[in-house]
């Protein structure tokens, strides 16, 4: 246990299911995973969720991983929630707290106190209402780690999908599909698949942007002008890259085992197939950061918060991914 990876788990928005699934997930994996999970939250947030999931473990407030005690809820008091809050509501102070938990965990990871950060779900409306104007976790991590070249990767079931663009309009996503960005995401896909799949030369499929991958320019020139040149340069660097594969068949091919990872051109092109395949077991990973970050692949589920009915499968999968990545990095 002393040399096990240290994971910082942020509970996300206190009003959502995050605090509940952090409690149930850490309880379930106790003694079955080689890791030490430290929760980043406030004591009042943890205590408010404990009765919902019949949590009886003792709380252990710590300032250093050396204070970790197996069998207890080990947590870092962030001190953000100083007033009452309700479950299942968009509240600015809860959005700010979710940000504060992530910020504290990132700073500790950058300082070498954590081997990985695993994030619970936050609510983007509450986040912005709380004065933190970010599109989501990915952008927060990029900002606080001063990272310029990063990408969102989803893994679930037999699929791994990495995105050229994510939180932007579909019109803007088309404009972002440029050779330099696509090539960088192929690089990140190669590195990530090496770690996740454990292969030296991952088989990478690059999806087209347009129907039928543009049909030779009939349905758009992005494949000809941007995507194919990026693929050719990646191949010249020795990577195993196929494409552009028509987006309506690339996931079927990847799911059948033909590819180790798919480069998607925009948010929904990658998210929809992944969530169909493994909605509750999906994991969100931000690649290209100086710290390891994995996350649940779902939202705050306000409709279930405070009821003890939340599914912690995605969080457990995110913990497992963090352990894997931390050990391979070490």
DSSP letters spanning 20-83: HHHHHHHHHHTTTSS-EEEEEE-HHHHHHHGGGGT--PPEEE-SSGGG--TTSEEEEE-----S
| Mean pLDDT of the 46-70 span | 95
Residues 98, 221 within the same domain: no
Average pLDDT over the chain reads 96
Residues 47, 14 within the same domain: yes
Residues 21, 126 within the same domain: yes
Residues 249, 328 within the same domain: no
Q: What local confidence, expressed as pLDDT, does residue 281 receive?
A: 87
User: Each residue of 268-319: pLDDT tens digit?
Assistant: 999 999 999 998 889 999 999 999 999 999 999 999 999 999 999 999 999 9
55: domain range? 1-147+289-330
The token pair at 173 is 């996503």
Phi, psi of 9 (to 5 degrees): -105, 115
| Mean pLDDT of the 66-95 span | 95
Residues 8, 119 within the same domain: yes
Residues 202, 228 within the same domain: yes
Residues 113, 173 within the same domain: no
Other CB atoms within 10 A of residue 64 CB: 10
User: Each residue of 4-45: pLDDT tens digit?
Assistant: 999 999 999 999 999 999 999 999 999 999 999 999 999 999
Work out the angle between the directed axes of helices 313-329 and 18-29 (0-180°, nearest 10): 60
Residues 110, 123 within the same domain: yes
In Å, the largest CA–CA distance within the chain is 64
C-alpha 224/C-alpha 237 separation (Å) is 20
User: Each residue of 260-276: pLDDT tens digit?
Assistant: 999 999 999 999 999 99
Q: What is the spatial order of strands in the sheet that 36-41 belongs to? A: 59-61, 73-77, 36-41, 6-10, 116-119, 293-296, 283-287, 151-156, 159-163, 261-264, 203-207, 240-245
Q: Which residues contact 314 (CB under 8 A, 6 or more apart)?
A: 280, 281, 282, 283, 296, 297, 298
Residues 111, 154 within the same domain: no
pLDDT band for position 147 (cuts 50, 70, 90): very high
pLDDT band for position 2 (cuts 50, 70, 90): low
Residues 263, 167 within the same domain: yes
Residues 203, 306 within the same domain: no
Residues 141, 163 within the same domain: no
User: Each residue of 161-182: pLDDT tens digit?
Assistant: 999 999 999 999 999 999 999 9
Percent with pLDDT over 70 in the chain: 99
pTM of the complete model: 0.94
What's the CATH code of the domain at 86? 3.40.718.10
Burial class (CB in 10 A: 0-12, 13-18, 19+), 315: buried
Structurally, the chain folds into a number of domains equal to: 2
Q: What local confidence, expressed as pLDDT, does residue 176 receive?
A: 97
């Amino acid at each position: 246990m002393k040399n096990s990876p240290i994971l910082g788990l942020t509970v996300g928005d206190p009003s959502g299911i995050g605090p509940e699934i952090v409690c149930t997930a850490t309880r379930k994996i106790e003694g079955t995973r080689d890791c030490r999970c430290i929760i980043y939250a406030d004591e009042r947030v943890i205590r408010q969720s404990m009765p919902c999931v019949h949590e009886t473990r003792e709380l252990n407030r710590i300032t250093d991983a050396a204070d970790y005690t197996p069998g207890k809820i080990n947590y870092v008091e962030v001190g953000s929630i100083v007033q009452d809050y309700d479950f299942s509501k968009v509240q600015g102070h809860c959005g700010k707290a979710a940000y504060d938990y992530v910020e504290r965990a990132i700073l500790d990871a950058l300082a070498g106190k954590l081997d990985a950060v695993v994030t619970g779900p936050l609510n983007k409306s509450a986040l912005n209402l709380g004065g933190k104007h970010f599109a989501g976790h990915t952008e927060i991590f990029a900002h606080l780690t001063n990272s310029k070249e990063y990408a969102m990767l989803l893994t679930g079931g037999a699929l791994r999908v990495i995105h050229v663009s994510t939180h932007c309009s579909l019109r803007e996503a088309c404009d972002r599909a440029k050779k330099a960005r696509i090539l960088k995401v192929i690089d990140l896909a190669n590195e990530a698949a090496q770690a996740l799949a454990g292969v030296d030369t991952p088989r990478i499929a690059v999806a087209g942007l347009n129907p039928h991958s543009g049909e030779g320019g009939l349905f758009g020139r992005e494949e000809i002008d941007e995507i194919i040149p990026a693929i050719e340069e990646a191949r010249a660097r020795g990577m195993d890259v196929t494409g552009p594969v028509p987006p309506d068949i690339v996931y079927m091919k990847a799911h059948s085992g033909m590819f180790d990872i798919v480069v998607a051109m925009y948010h929904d092109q990658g998210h929809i197939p992944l969530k169909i395949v493994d909605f509750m077991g999906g994991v969100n990973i931000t690649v290209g950061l100086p710290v390891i970050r994995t996350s649940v692949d779902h939202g705050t589920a306000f409709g279930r918060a405070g009821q003890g009915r939340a599914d912690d499968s995605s969080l457990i999968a995110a913990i497992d991914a963090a352990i894997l990545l931390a050990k391979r990095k070490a």
